[in-house]
Amino acid sequence: MAGGRFGLDLARPSRQHWLGYILLAPAVLLIAAIIVYPLFVSVDLSFQNVGIARLDQPRRPFTTANYERLFTSPDFWNACWVTFKLILVVTLACCLLGLGTALLVNNRFRGRSVARLFVAMPWAVPEVIAVVIFAWIFDSSFGLMNWVFLSLGLIDRTINWFSDPAAAFAVVATTMIWKGYPFVSIMCLAGLQSIPEDYYAAARVDGANAWQRLVHITLPNLRPVLGVTTILVMLWIFRDFSIIYVLTGGGPLKATQTLSIMTYEQAFSFFRMGYASAIGVVTLIFCIIAAKLMMRRAPDVL
């Protein structure tokens, strides 16, 4: 029985690692089927002039025309700029808001559990529902936001939130921040709870004030967690589609057209799947570069 029916003795010390490979094999094969294979197909399509792609179609001649067109297209560079702006604004705001709320609910006070629940709630709301709520809040004719701003005297006429490029970008960024900050908050809260209380006690004895304790104890200890969280938030913004698509569809005047929206539009509105694949491949490269840069800044963990 030791050798088994196939003569494979997994109990032998020299073959003990085989069991690990065998157990991993289904997962590896699944990942290869649903991630690696489509990735290769995508890269392959990006070098062909394909309208609507079909796997049973004969391969079209190799061409770099999609990439040549992409790098000379003002729309592509605009999408890169919009994506970059969105990443910068949303990541920064999510981190500040997430860290702030985590510090707040890490304190002991009455109703802390309820406060923690409220902080985490936006994360639990399905993305499309959140977007519909925000679309109504910012509705140009009947939305809450125009009424609040007018009532407070901040504006003297209604803002067309989705017809003005700057306003539309602000609405998209606000929605993404609202949806994204709880994740940072939860991660930071977990990180905060792992910092030994002794550090703070010692700092207090040394006369450190709250700001000094934050800068010299909390932030350095949270750095690994914040590093990973920032990368994950950044990648989420890179790939997020539904918030922008439902709110603005990338408009007006391409003010909210990110790389993911551009990819979708080229593939499914204009049926240029070769060109869309080229945008997807370039987006992937950008993601890898951005993640690598961030990983360098968080060497303790990654």
Partner 1 sequence: MRSLWKSIILGSVAAIALSAASLPALAQGKTLKFVSWQKDERGVGDWWASVIKEFETKNPGVKVEWTKVERGAYADTMTTLFAGGKPPEIVHLASFEFQKFADQGWLEDLGPYIKASGLNLEGWAGQNACQWKGKPVCVMMLYFGNIFAYNEEMLKKEGIAPPTNWAEYLAAARKLTKDTNGDGIPDQFGTGHETKGGGGQYLSELMNYTLDAGGRWTDANGKVTINTPQMIEGLARWKEVVKNALTPRDLSAGETRQMFADGRIAMKLDGPWLYPIILRGKAKDQIRIAAPPFNPPLGGSSNILGMASEIPADTKKLVWDFIAIATSDKFQTDYATLAASTPPSPRAKTDGAKAATPHFDLLVQTAQAASKAGVDRIPKGLEIQYNEFAKMIMEESQRMIIQDLDPKAVAATMQAKAEAIQKQ
Question: In the bound complex, what is the minimum distance in angstroms from residue 268's beta carbon to partner 1?
Answer: 4
User: 130-149: which residues touch partner 1 (CB under 8 A)?
Assistant: 139-142, 146-147
User: 223-252: which residues touch partner 1 (CB under 8 A)?
Assistant: 249, 251-252
Question: In the bound complex, what is the minimum distance in angstroms from residue 273's beta carbon to partner 1?
Answer: 8
Question: In the bound complex, what is the minimum distance in angstroms from residue 35's beta carbon to partner 1?
Answer: 18
The two tokens of residue 33 are 């089927």
Question: In the bound complex, what is the minimum distance in angstroms from residue 158's beta carbon to partner 1?
Answer: 6
Q: Cβ of 92: how many Cβ atoms within 10 Å? A: 13
- The CA radius of gyration of the chain, in Å to the nearest whole number, is 25
> Residue 198 and residue 208: Cα distance in Å, rounded?
13
> Based on CB atoms, which residue is closest to partner 1, 37 or 270?
270
> Based on CB atoms, which residue is closest to partner 1, 56 or 300?
56
> Based on CB atoms, which residue is closest to partner 1, 126 or 299?
126
Q: Is 128 in the site for partner 1 (CB under 8 A)?
A: no
> Residue 232 and residue 221: Cα distance in Å, rounded?
19
Q: Which of 59, 269, 289, 292 binds partner 1 (CB under 8 A)?
A: 269
User: 35-64: which residues touch partner 1 (CB under 8 A)?
Assistant: 51-56
Question: In the bound complex, what is the minimum distance in angstroms from residue 36's beta carbon to partner 1?
Answer: 19
Q: Is 254 in the site for partner 1 (CB under 8 A)?
A: yes
Mask for 175-214, x = binds partner 1 (CB under 8 A): ----------------------------------------
> Based on CB atoms, which residue is closest to partner 1, 51 or 196?
51
> How many degrees, rounded to 5, is the angle at CA 29 between CA 24 and CA 32?
125
**Quick check: 86 and 236 in contact, CB under 8 A?**
no
Question: In the bound complex, what is the minimum distance in angstroms from residue 180's beta carbon to partner 1?
Answer: 24
Place of tokens 């593939």: 267
* SS3 category, 208: coil
SS (H, E, C) 234-261: HHHHHHCCHHHHHHCCCCCCCCCCCHHH
Q: Which of 165, 213, 235, 286 binds partner 1 (CB under 8 A)?
A: 165
> Based on CB atoms, which residue is closest to partner 1, 20 or 51?
51
Where helices occur in the chain by DSSP H, the ranges are 16-31, 37-46, 65-71, 74-106, 112-124, 127-137, 144-151, 165-193, 197-205, 210-213, 219-239, 242-247, 259-264, 273-297
The two tokens of residue 58 are 């004969």
Q: Which of 59, 114, 268, 296 binds partner 1 (CB under 8 A)?
A: 268
The two tokens of residue 273 are 């799947």
The two tokens of residue 78 are 């605009």
* SS3 category, 93: helix
By CB under 8 A, name the binding residues for partner 1. Answer: 51-56, 139-142, 146-147, 150-151, 156-158, 160-165, 249, 251-254, 265, 268-271
